[in-house]
């Protein structure tokens, strides 16, 4: 197998034109290295840009995450004085049933303590203090009692400070931070301080960051809700599941909303929040893509220029060869009148002169062979006609006609109609067979003859069904040779029925008009011919062989199929003659292709 493949390559290379070889050579030596180097350069540059972008995003997120942790640490420090303030401790320990005492302490906290804290920081909405007994005092975030009670109910025994997440406060988005009050001795939760922060501090911290044209940094809390996004309409909504499944502190490339992005996530141990940076890759590689496109255009222009130069050079070099090739193609297709110009004195001129000599010699040989074939064909036709005339002359037509007329007369006198009919038909058959020297007849004459033949066979085989489907007007315009149908019909009686010991019950003759001739089909429903014999006959028909296939001696008592085929071929040439078809059912189908009478 490998050896066969190795021998094919140089053959294919030799079939290429010189112009094509030059172009392929330029493509291999110029374009291929240029393409490989361009791909390697682009991949390396892309990798470098991505690596730099990953490092920049990691450093950015780490810095922002550290700033965010510092911000919440500052908020925690602000709340520390409240945890130890005497009024707060007194509020925590006062019995709720002492309504006056609770009212008095709550009023002091709301008027003296909390306003100073809120006014000192513009990022605060307000404070709320709630005890484990349900007592609440607040400043600036009224209406958050149920929420804060829920925070207190869900408190664990170890938490002191917690960033709860984002909430709606009077229609505004706020970040809630919780500070738990613990008993110094039992360390049990006595209450909590809820601090509601405005988003402006976090927004100003993150909105200044520009990652490409559309890149952004956003925050997700521990429950997977969005707590900050430049698009504030998404605040509080669940983040896509992909972000919950992505590993922490790992740069990944992911298609988000149909856009390939570089994504980096880092979770804060301080707040439990995850900071995510994402930037589209096309914005990272924007400059590189523009440089790549510019390089491609320049390289393509260079390659195109080189190809144009090579094409012009090869065209000038191979123009004469192309003309000679075109003339050779015409000669190959049968046009031997072509003549190559001989004005050049170089090697191409020598090729043209040799080509002209070769074409002239081919013309001479073809004319010689054609003349010889015509003479041989004429001799064969004359030989066949002489043979048939010799056979006809062996029988005295007048003696036969007179004898049959006597038989016919006696049959009429005795009233034996079948004998009269058979004698008359037999006389017509002999008259057609030996009484006319013409070899070329019409299909209509042959159909009249075979109808007469069938009338005799019908007396012998009473159950014989004869199906004749040939248009008489068309048959009058179709040419054939004398006695071409009778041998084929006799072949059906002998080989389809008698050979297989069957009673003849059907013979059909059908005519089919074709664009280039007329097709006559002779069919029977007998035992049929062996497939091997059909193949041998068709092969001999195709090769126009003179001998018939080997068959039993009994089959040679008839005029052979090959005799009919040879007479048709000698008279009309190809493609006229016989062909045997296989049938799916019983029987045999023989086709005769005949020409139309072109003199009509």
Q: How far is CA 105 from the centre of its chain?
A: 84
**What residue spans of 333-346 are helical by DSSP H?**
none
Within 477-600, strands assigned E span 479-481, 506-514, 517-524, 577-581, 589-594
The first and second tokens of residue 409, run together, are 């007369």
Q: What is the pLDDT of residue 402?
A: 63
pLDDT in tens, the chain (600 residues): 444 444 444 446 566 666 677 777 777 776 777 778 778 876 777 777 777 777 777 877 888 888 888 888 888 787 777 777 777 777 777 777 777 777 777 777 777 677 766 666 777 777 778 777 777 776 766 555 556 666 666 666 666 777 877 777 666 778 888 887 777 677 777 777 788 878 777 877 777 777 767 778 888 887 888 888 878 778 878 888 777 777 677 778 777 777 788 888 888 887 888 888 888 877 766 666 677 678 778 877 877 777 777 777 666 667 777 787 788 888 878 787 888 887 777 777 787 888 888 888 888 888 878 777 776 777 677 666 655 654 555 455 555 666 666 676 766 766 666 776 777 777 777 777 766 667 899 999 999 999 988 988 888 888 889 999 999 999 999 999 988 999 999 988 888 888 888 899 999 999 999 998 999 999 999 888 888 888 999 999 888 655 555 555 444 433 478 889 999 998 898 899 999 998 777 889 999 999 998 876
- What is the 3-class SS of 294-321, one letter each residue? HHHHHHHHHHHHHHHHHHHHHHHHHHHH
- Which strand (E) or helix (H) includes residue 33? helix 32-83
**Tokens 């540059």 belong to residue:** 45
Q: Give the integer Cα–Cα distance in Å for 400 and 430.
A: 8
Q: What is the pLDDT of residue 458?
A: 84
The first and second tokens of residue 330, run together, are 């015409």
- Domain 203-285 sits in CATH at 3.30.450.20
CATH class of the domain at 462-594 = alpha beta
CATH class of the domain at 84-194 = alpha beta
Question: Which 8-state DSSP code applies to residue 521?
Answer: E
Q: What is the pLDDT of residue 267?
A: 83
Angle at 295 between CA 291 and CA 299, to 5 degrees: 175
Q: What is the pLDDT of residue 556?
A: 44
Task: Compute the chain's Rg from CA coordinates.
Answer: 55
Q: How far is CA 464 from the centre of its chain?
A: 58
The first and second tokens of residue 193, run together, are 């301080």
Q: Give the integer Cα–Cα distance in Å for 156 and 2.
A: 77
Q: Give the integer Cα–Cα distance in Å for 256 and 262.
A: 10
Q: What is the pLDDT of residue 520?
A: 96
**Tokens 């002191």 belong to residue:** 160
Q: What is the pLDDT of residue 5?
A: 45
**What residue spans of 84-124 are helical by DSSP H?**
86-93, 99-108, 114-120
Find the distance separating the first CA and the last CA of the chain, reported in whole Å.
61
Q: What is the pLDDT of residue 383?
A: 60
Look at strands 517-524 and 506-514 and give their pairing.
Answer: antiparallel
pLDDT tens digits, residue range 88-118? 777 777 777 777 777 777 777 777 677 766 6
Q: Give the integer Cα–Cα distance in Å for 478 and 447.
A: 11
Q: Give the integer Cα–Cα distance in Å for 230 and 208.
A: 10
**Tokens 């195709």 belong to residue:** 542
Within 391-493, strands assigned E span 440-442, 465-469, 479-481
Alpha carbon of 597 to those of 187, 189, 516: distances in Å?
Answer: 125, 122, 12
Compute the CA torsion angle 20, 21, 23, 27 (nearest 10 deg).
130
Beta-bridge mates of residue 163: 177
Residues of the chain within CATH 3.30.450.20 domain(s) are 203-285
**Angle at which helices 417-434 and 397-414 cross, to 10°:** 170
Residues of the chain within CATH 3.30.565.10 domain(s) are 462-594
Q: Give the integer Cα–Cα distance in Å for 280 and 215.
A: 6
CA atoms within 13 A on the CB side of 320: 15
Q: Give the integer Cα–Cα distance in Å for 49 and 70.
A: 31
Q: Give the integer Cα–Cα distance in Å for 249 and 475.
A: 95
Alpha carbon of 500 to those of 336, 495, 551: distances in Å?
Answer: 56, 7, 15
Q: Give the integer Cα–Cα distance in Å for 487 and 564.
A: 8
Q: How buried is residue 413: exposed, middle or buried, by Cβ count under 10 Å (0-12/13-18/19+)? A: exposed
């Amino acid at each position: 197998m490998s050896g066969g493949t190795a021998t094919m390559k140089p053959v294919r290379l030799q079939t290429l034109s010189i112009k094509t070889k030059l172009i392929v050579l330029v493509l291999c030596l110029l374009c291929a290295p240029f393409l490989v180097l361009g791909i390697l350069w682009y991949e390396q540059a892309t990798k470098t840009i991505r690596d730099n972008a990953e490092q920049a995003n990691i450093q950015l997120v780490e810095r922002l995450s550290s700033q965010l942790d510092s911000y919440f640490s500052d908020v925690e420090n602000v709340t520390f004085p409240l945890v130890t303030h005497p009024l707060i401790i007194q509020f925590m320990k006062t019995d709720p049933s002492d309504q006056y005492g609770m009212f008095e302490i709550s009023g002091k906290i709301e008027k003296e303590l909390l306003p100073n804290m809120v006014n000192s920081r513009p990022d605060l909405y307000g404070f709320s203090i709630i005890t484990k007994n349900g007592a609440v005092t607040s400043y600036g975030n009224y209406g958050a009692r149920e929420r804060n009670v829920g925070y207190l109910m869900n408190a664990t025994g170890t938490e002191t400070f917690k960033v709860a997440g984002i909430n709606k406060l009077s229609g505004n988005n706020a970040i809630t931070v919780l500070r738990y009050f613990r008993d110094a001795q039992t360390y049990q939760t006595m209450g909590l301080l809820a601090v509601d922060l405005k988003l402006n501090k976090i927004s100003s911290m993150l909105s200044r960051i520009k990652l490409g044209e559309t890149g952004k940094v956003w925050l997700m809390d521990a429950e997977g809700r969005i707590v900050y996004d430049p698009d504030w309409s998404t605040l509080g909504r669940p983040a896509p599941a992909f972000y919950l499944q992505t590993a922490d502190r790992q740069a990944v490339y992911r298609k988000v909303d149909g856009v390939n992005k570089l994504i980096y996530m880092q979770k804060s141990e301080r707040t439990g929040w995850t900071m995510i940076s994402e930037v589209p890759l096309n914005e990272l590689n924007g400059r590189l893509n523009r440089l790549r496109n510019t390089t491609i255009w320049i390289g393509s222009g260079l390659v195109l220029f080189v190809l144009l130069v090579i094409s012009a050079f090869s065209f000038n070099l191979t123009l004469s060869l192309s003309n000679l090739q075109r003339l050779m193609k015409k000669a190959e297709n049968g046009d031997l009148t072509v003549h190559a110009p001989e004005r050049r004195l170089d090697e191409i001129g020598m090729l043209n002169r040799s080509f002209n000599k070769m074409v002239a010699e081919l013309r001479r040989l073809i004319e010689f062979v054609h003349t010889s074939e015509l003479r041989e064909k004429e001799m064969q036709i004359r030989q066949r006609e002489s043979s048939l005339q010799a056979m006809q002359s062996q029988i005295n037509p007048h003696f036969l006609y007179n004898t049959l007329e006597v038989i016919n007369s006696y049959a009429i006198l005795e009233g034996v109609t079948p004998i009269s009919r058979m004698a008359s038909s037999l006389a017509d058959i002999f008259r057609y067979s030996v009484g006319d020297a013409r070899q070329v007849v019409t299909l209509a004459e042959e159909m009249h003859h075979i109808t007469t033949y069938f009338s005799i066979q019908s007396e012998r085989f009473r159950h014989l069904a004869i199906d004749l489907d040939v248009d008489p007007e068309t048959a009058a315009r179709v040419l054939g040779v004398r006695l071409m149908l009778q041998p084929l019909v006799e072949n059906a009686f002998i080989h389809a029925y008698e050979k297989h010991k069957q009673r003849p019950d059907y013979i059909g003759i059908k005519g089919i008009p074709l664009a280039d001739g007329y097709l006559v089909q002779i069919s029977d429903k007998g035992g049929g011919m062996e497939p091997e014999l059909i193949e041998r006959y068709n092969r001999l028909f195709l090769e126009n062989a003179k001998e018939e296939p080997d068959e039993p001696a009994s089959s040679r008592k008839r005029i052979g199929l090959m005799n009919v085929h040879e007479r048709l071929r000698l008279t009309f040439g190809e493609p006229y003659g016989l062909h045997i078809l296989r049938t799916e059912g019983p029987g045999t189908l023989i086709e005769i292709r005949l020409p139309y009478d072109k003199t009509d």
